[in-house]
Chain A
């Protein structure tokens, strides 16, 4: 095809200028703001903000609440991430089995939480976790577990948010895993059966390696998504009790839009970005390492 540059630019201009002005420019502006003391006074007149270099970032290092939010977010990501991947892989394996009936119905049910509105289901779960009238404590009562104050106890609040998030999210990964499983050629398993491999050996030697690119993709998008934890603690615990569920994004939101410390808030946003970036690199690296 001949180059038709002007027509190409005509088609690209609306989308790319929107992305440039309302995405790339704000990213750069956020970086600049993170080096200033932009606050409520600067909101009225931008001239009231000054460049303060890395001061915001140094303040973050000395801010116990920021460390708390960081710790909580890592706790959430490192537990909910693997849990979500493991559960969605298990569900996909069972649903991919030839023995199973009503596959599409189960797939639909498991996927339903994914499409629902996060805020609405977080509200539903807030009542599910109610210490006296909640469904969860009622069900746990059948196996002899005494009522737990899920959202009121600093030790249980984060596990409660993890459980709810895995419930909300695992169907999405399950669908991707099912697609990955269906791409594994059947003859590999047939050959393994002839060689006398057990189910577990087949899983270790065929399913897991063949599924590796899918698993990598799933874990990357899951971790990126989970690092942005916000609505669940905002709705269910407001970050409490005792800041035990305060997340990085929630702290960024408070600093920026409650206290109007926008310079400080922008530096939190950038730390989050760097963490997500490094987290993704590590996962890519680990994957390359296991390939060799």
Chain B
């Protein structure tokens, strides 16, 4: 009995520790200037106000940054879903020369940190005149190895007989992909969509390098930039953080089953 109590007390303390930063963030975001810089800290606003959010949207370009983040995350998700699903399907269900070699090459190159590619990528996109455009973010995100791997693992479980039957009925390869594979892969496509959307939304280093103008910044870059000028304005910065975090938290809460599945699938490779 005491053990059961002890475990729950530990869990509660851990939960509180995990949540306190979010609670304080939410509380400060709805305060007047200066009301969060007090001792002892307030975990609930003394007078609730939306003035920080109004300031972010009317005087600063946070609306534009939100739009950038949203459009880029959506576009990268759609394009990479299309490319990755085709490649993943080919790796799962086709026999062709060099298949194992290619697949192993892709898997082993997952260990290369993305930072290695950033300098040449920057030079490449600069010579194409694409730095500080949406394409600078979209192009490197068009396909990714983890996505191909995830789809391939899932598509392996689709019975060959289904594909053969469709082929006998005269379906072309693309029709089979479009009408059989994609619908059957829907759960893993949802998983991958959440992963891609969130990682594009949360990404920082590459957008920091590739976007050079405030009107092009995504939310994390805009926020980091804002922090430079507002180190003494926790209320404003917390409002900005709430705007940045809220969409991904909502997507996660709505689709957590799919998200957790993706982590599990990613961890049982090999």
Contact = CB atoms under 8 A, between A and B. Distances in A.
Question: What secondary structure prevails in chain B residues at the interface with A?
Answer: helix
Contacts of A194: none
Contact of B117 (A23, A109, A217): A23
A104 B121 CA distance: 42
A230 B204 contact: yes
A13 B139 CA distance: 15
A265 B122 CA distance: 13
Contacts of B184: none
B248 A116 contact: yes
A214 B96 CA distance: 33
B119 A269 contact: yes
B83 interface: yes
B202 interface: yes
A30 B120 CA distance: 6
A224 interface: yes
B95 interface: yes
A30 B39 contact: no
A252 interface: yes
A262 interface: yes
A187 to B, nearest CB: 22
A265 B252 CA distance: 36
A167 interface: yes
B258 interface: no
A110 B18 contact: yes
Nearest to A214: B267
A230 B97 contact: no
Given A19-B145, A112-B18, A176-B263, A118 B119 contact: no
Interface pairs A-B: 8 shortest CB-CB: A29-B120, A8-B94, A15-B87, A26-B117, A15-B143, A119-B220, A11-B90, A26-B120
Interface of A: 1-5, 7-12, 14-16, 18-19, 22-27, 29-30, 33, 43, 91, 94-95, 97, 99-101, 106, 108-110, 112-113, 115-121, 123-128, 130, 132-135, 138-139, 167, 171-172, 175-176, 179, 214, 217-218, 224, 227-228, 230-231, 234-235, 249, 252-253, 256-257, 262, 265-266, 269-270, 272-273, 276-277, 280
Given A12-B102, A117-B202, 5 more contacts: A15-B87, A99-B3, A115-B249, A127-B238, A228-B113
